[in-house]
Amino acid sequence: MNRREYLKAISILGAGILSAPYLKASEPFLNPELKASMFGSDFLWGAATAAYQIEGARNVDGKGESIWDKFSHTKGKIKTGETGDEACDFYHHFEQDILLMKSMNLKVFRFSISWPRIFPNGTGEINQAGVDFYHKVIDCCIKNGIQPWITLYHWDLPQKLEDKGGWTNREVIKWFTEYADFVTKAYGLKVKNWMVLNEPLSYTAVGYLFGIHAPGHKGLKRFFPAAHHTTICQAEGGRIIRRNVKDANIGTTFSCSYIEGIKNKPKHLKSVKRFDAFVNRLFLEPALGMGYPVNDLPVLKKIEKYMLPGDTEKMKFDFDFIGLQNYTREIVKGNALIPYLHGLPVPAKKRGAEITENGWEVYPEGIYHLLKKYAAYPNMPKIIITENGAAFEDTVEDGKIQDIKRTDFLKKYLEQVLKAKNEGVNVGGYFCWSFMDNFEWAEGFKPRFGLVHIDFKTQQRIVKDSGLWYKDFLGK
């Protein structure tokens, strides 16, 4: 795959679609005195992380190998040559980090469970040390007045299961069911807020179609079964949580970014529709009982090869909330010669747009349009922004990080969330990505998204100016 690895797998496949000519750069602040109180007393505020990106402790206390452990140790797979072996060493610093969250007025900590830390071989034998670790994290959150929100799967599949085909093997439904059943029983008395999957399109397409992320496979023959089995696990995970956790609040998360045609012409708008079906609707609509969006992306008919009788019903689940994750927008230029999607995104840098360190366009209005788009589904539950943030280069001067661009990013995006809420969109929370700088997958440690700066050599934590702004914004 070329054209710069299909434009870095369509900016790691975050997309949501509207079909109008693209708009100008974002406006100045709408609410200079923006405060969390404007969103209502029941609006949830927090920050998000993922196990492999922060925990470290790769071989500690019986943890098994994940696909990211293996992938990051494979030469040439990580841009910087780094691994997540130590990362932020959250495994040994969790108490310090949760106290830091408390000092920053965060009320929600979204984190994921490392599947191979619980099941080193993917199934079967339980690693009690791993089980105990998450009990300690949860207890520390509760002690400090922070709600733990758990993601069951944030991309770190046990390598032992990948050796058997991973998400391409239909047995993964049984493996995931065993894992989800154990975890929700283990922690369900303490934790009521759960997310089944993080960005299913990202790990299936970027990992099994484009080969940029773990496990590094390429081709539609791997993508289609991985996608279908993921769709069933997404719903099955919801059913398991409903069964095991009394009064559970259950969701799953999708990455999306506002996408428009470069011009209001049929060839561009046709491509926009295909991008929409692939990137923004592929996993959402089956959960809503609408099936796969085959009519708008005919190649998805090939997924039917992997469907068994009764699967259509198994793909449905009545979630309590949907996690919307937004970072950027894309402008699509139609081209019938491009297979399947019939178009390509035009890079933001080439368009002269304001961009983050990793080349994503800063376009706050996009999150407003996406909230409106999601809310337009007739059976859409509450929406929570489960990730939103930006990577900018940080410089430590006199023990401080003056990250003005990140602070401005957060302000402008939150203004647009408030605008959508004030217009009736049922949006109930915002979790910043990320609480701290971490291992950003195939990009290594260079992109820094954190509210908290991490010195990866010393593990020193410094709250950035953006984190101090967020603290003041939230109040007590």
pLDDT single digits (tens) 409-460:
999 999 999 999 999 999 999 999 999 999 999 999 999 999 999 999 999 9
Starting at the earlier edge strand, list the strands of the sheet with 258-261.
16-21, 258-261, 329-334, 343-346
Contact at 8 Å (CB) between 272 and 373? no
Residue 372: Cβ within 10 Å count: 15
CA distance 154 to 41: 30
- Model pTM? 0.94
pLDDT recorded at residue 279: 86
Residue 271 inside a domain? The answer is: no
Nearest to 331 by CA among 349, 357, 319: 349
Task: Note down the domain range covering 65.
Answer: 24-253+348-474
| Residue 9 token pair | 């797998």
**Which one-letter DSSP state was computed for residue 204?**
I
pLDDT at 27 exceeding the cut of 60: no
**Which one-letter DSSP state was computed for residue 295?**
G
Residue 15 inside a domain? The answer is: no
Q: Which residue bears the tokens 């959250």?
A: 90
Indicate the average pLDDT of the chain.
94
pLDDT (mean) for 237-241: 98
Residue 357 inside a domain? The answer is: yes
pLDDT recorded at residue 367: 97
Q: Is 387 a catalytic residue?
A: yes
pLDDT interval class at 18 (50, 70, 90):
very low
Residue 309 inside a domain? The answer is: no
pLDDT, tens only, 46-102: 999 999 999 999 999 999 999 999 999 999 999 999 999 999 999 999 999 999 999
Q: How many domains does the chain have?
A: 1
Residue 13, phi then psi, degrees to nearest 5: 55, 45
CA distance 99 to 401: 20
**Which one-letter DSSP state was computed for residue 205?**
I
Residue 157 inside a domain? The answer is: yes
pLDDT recorded at residue 5: 46
pLDDT at 20 exceeding the cut of 50: no
List C-alpha distances in Å: 194 to 130, 166, 199, 240, 241: 19, 23, 14, 11, 8
pLDDT interval class at 28 (50, 70, 90):
low
DSSP for 246-284, please give it: TT-EEEEEEE--EEEESSSSHHHHHHHHHHIIIIISTTH
pLDDT recorded at residue 396: 97
Q: Which residue bears the tokens 């991309």?
A: 155
Residue 334 inside a domain? The answer is: no
Type of residue at 240 = I
pLDDT at 11 exceeding the cut of 50: no
Task: Provide the CATH number for the domain around residue 446.
Answer: 3.20.20.80
Question: Percent of the chain beyond pLDDT 90?
Answer: 91
Contact at 8 Å (CB) between 322 and 251? yes
Where on the phi/psi map is residue 162: left (φ > 0), alpha (ψ -120 to 50), or beta? Answer: alpha
Residue 331 inside a domain? The answer is: no
CA distance 432 to 420: 18
Nearest to 65 by CA among 119, 120, 112: 120
pLDDT recorded at residue 33: 85
Task: Please report, to the nearest 10 degrees, the dihedral formed by the alpha carbons of residues 336, 337, 339, 340 taken in order.
Answer: 0
pLDDT recorded at residue 258: 86
pLDDT, tens only, 301-353: 999 999 999 999 999 999 999 999 999 998 999 999 999 999 999 999 999 99
Residue 13 inside a domain? The answer is: no
Catalytic residue of the set 199, 365, 415, 440? 199
> By mean pLDDT, which of 87-101, 156-170, 265-279, 445-459 is the weakest?
265-279
pLDDT at 135 exceeding the cut of 90: yes
pLDDT recorded at residue 16: 37
Residue 381: Cβ within 10 Å count: 17
Length of the chain: 476
Catalytic residue of the set 55, 387, 415, 440? 387
Cross-strand pairs, 147: 108
pLDDT (mean) for 271-280: 92
Nearest to 172 by CA among 306, 281, 291: 306
| Residue 311 token pair | 């699967």
